[in-house]
Structure 1
Amino acid sequence: MNVSRFIRVLTQINNNEVILSRKRNLFKINRRWIGIQAKVSDDNECLEVKYQKRTDKFPLIWLRDNCTCENCFHKSSQSRIINWKDFDINIKVNSVEAKDESNIEINWNDNHKSVYSWDWLEKRSFSEAAQVKYLNDLYIPTKKLWSKNEFFDVLKSYEHKDIVNEDEALYNWLKDLAIYGVTLIRNAFENEKECQKISERVAFVKKTHYGESFHVVAKEGTNNVAYLSNPLQLHTDLPYYHYQPGVILLHCIVQNKGKGGGNLLTDAFYVAEKLRNENKDAFNVLSSMDVNWLDVGEEDAVPFHKIHREPMIVLDRHGNIRTIRHSIPQRDSYFTVNIEDVKPWYKALKVFVDEIYSNAAHFKTQPGDILAVDNTRLVHGRLGYQDTKDVKRFLVGNYLDWDEIHSKLRVLRKRFAKSSP
């Protein structure tokens, strides 16, 4: 068979059914695949698939690597089992044939046959539009950055009973948390297990050297400044962890009734992008110079000494902001950089700090509120307060990892998203 010749997927429409004719056989296929053609490219490197308005190319080596027959793919574990020790990276095609049920069959020169559906191929298109859709929808939802003036527009509220009992509410809550970096759950029971209950609806609590949960309450002799009634500077939690906790859940059980104790929140991604556009020098310094993050102490009679080195603004290899690490108390006095870079870094830090405070939203959680905050993106803080003789401000919190949140989102997306790649 001449593999450079197009195979045609449509020959006639009969009684509202699309019919595929190949040789003397007839196969029903999905109407949406009308007019598709496919052939091997002239350089014998790709399968070219022509739709009505575009052409996609699929490298042959990728197609052979992703064969889903039982000899190459373990269906229940969704895992590739093809033997790559014997894999031919110069694989060629003997023939391309249209099959029933909207499939195409490739016969390889190693005497293997692979079948692919048009739908499977379309979702895995190498086109920019298809890849952007996959990255922004299924991989990680696109973040929407916000200024302090937009905070109350983006702060979505959910009922505790809905999150606990309804999967669709859980999906929408997690999606909003991924997009905006902050959400509020209302009317939680005022006990110490509600954050854990929410976390276990997603996956499990991320344990740290402070335990599975932590209590935010003013106490003497603390080894953490969060447990003071003084103002708490804007920061991210635990920057000294290589795997920094992804999300903080903070359940307000008792709130200070005076003017103090209010929350501060800033979208630090918004601030960082603002610096990138308005003060590129400060942005470059903060995104390139490692900071030594430190926590030393003892919790429940167990000593710890954590150190991690990474910039305040962490970029991925595409230049996109991946995480923010910022905590004035948790910066080590060891600063392992060139001495001439020290003053420029402090100048950039000052610019960043001024910006996060000028862009901080102010509000105050009330008993029964669970505040969820993206700890890799937002910085949070608290106004100072004074406990009364009879009322002591008390919050309970724990952490979730983004790996588990994104996993749960993808599972729920199959049921509740309007469209899924």
Structure 2
Amino acid sequence: MTRGYAWLVFALSFGLLLSDYMSRQVLNAVFPLLKAEWVLSDAQLGSLSGIVALMVGVLTFPLSLLADRWGRVRSLVVAAVVWSLATLGCAVAASYGQMFLGRFMVGVGEAAYGSVGIAVVLSVFPARLRATLSGTFIAGGAFGSVLGVSIGGVVAQHLGWRWTFAVMGLFGLALAAVYGVVVTERKLASVVVGLGGAPDTRGPLRTLLPRLFSSVSVLCAYVGSGLQMFLAMALLAWMPSFLDRYYGLAPAKAGLAAGVFALITGIGMVGGGMVCDRLGRGNPPLKWTVAIVCSAGSLILLTAGFQLPPGALQLVLIAVGTLLSNATAGPAAAMVVSLTPAAVAATAMATLTLANSLLGLAPGPAVTGMLADHLGLDAALRVVPLVSLVAGLAFAVGRHHYDKGLAAATARPLRKTELRT
């Protein structure tokens, strides 16, 4: 019963993550319709997308910390209701300002879902599955993005752009209702006890929060993960343009082909986590080795691929490099969980999310674009994989200090009365 309930928790949490990214990315499918109906500039359209990412980046850490103290399940349900209602609000928006407000609230609702959701999932499974579950859960972002754009485009074509937001909002509300009934704090606590954990491991924040950065290893996990995210996001953002300019694909076909590369990225996240867990069962430091190999592989394959002229061989090398580009997501998340206190698991995931955002999600596409302005897009894409060299070095340093980091993570901080004695 415990095993079955744990997988049910995973399925519902993964479903809400899909809803999260579908609600976030559906806007991209209706850009042309909004531009034509409201006579919007490209900068205004970009702001409607960027405000969500901005709010996620600003609020992830504080809201995840609040969820650790207030209750993770309650926080997830409230978050899903907020972003779903905000998406429904976008469906009835009558102007750019109202749409901007709706997207602002979508960002507020989605801010902490990824970090809190993965903390809930990892808490009800054995430690040996952490990398697999982390990679699979994070890959839900890629899958949800593809679904959001694809379903949104179809719905908009047949029913109009307002129904695209309505469908996403109703889907999120339905899932939130089911989640609130099936998943409860009491049931989660019983599963954690069954796994040998404690239902309440909370301690003073002043002693727990510094341990989010208490070792060289955990810092290296943050940095390595963020830099590999830089590469993955640069590829996702610029692949449609690359296929358009160098393969002569029309925008629609280029977008569809780029969606295939996005799916490959998600598959790599799942596969990287599975390999990491299998190899690391008897020898945990091998999890770091998996991350190092993925970083080195993406560096070599993508650099070689973008050096070649357009053709089948180039696409194959780029596809395999893309597969490895973010396969480090699962291993990195598993490392962070093992190197930080369980009482602030959601906050630790928020810290990882913040590192991914600051080092990868935000600068990856932008820096690649600046390089493309000066060097050309093909040359820029040959340079960008070099970040994997630094990421691999970070993972190598983390592996070297792993034992010390693990000892620091498991050490119980002394109370003041103990220090006096």
Query: Which TM-score band applies after superposition, normalised by the shorter structure?
Result: under 0.3
Give the structure with the larger strand fraction: 1
Asked which structure has the greater RCO (Cα within 8 Å, sep 6+), the reply is: 2
Higher helix share: 2
Q: TM-score, normalised by structure 2?
A: 0.22
Larger Rg: 1
- TM-score if structure 1 supplies the norm length? 0.22
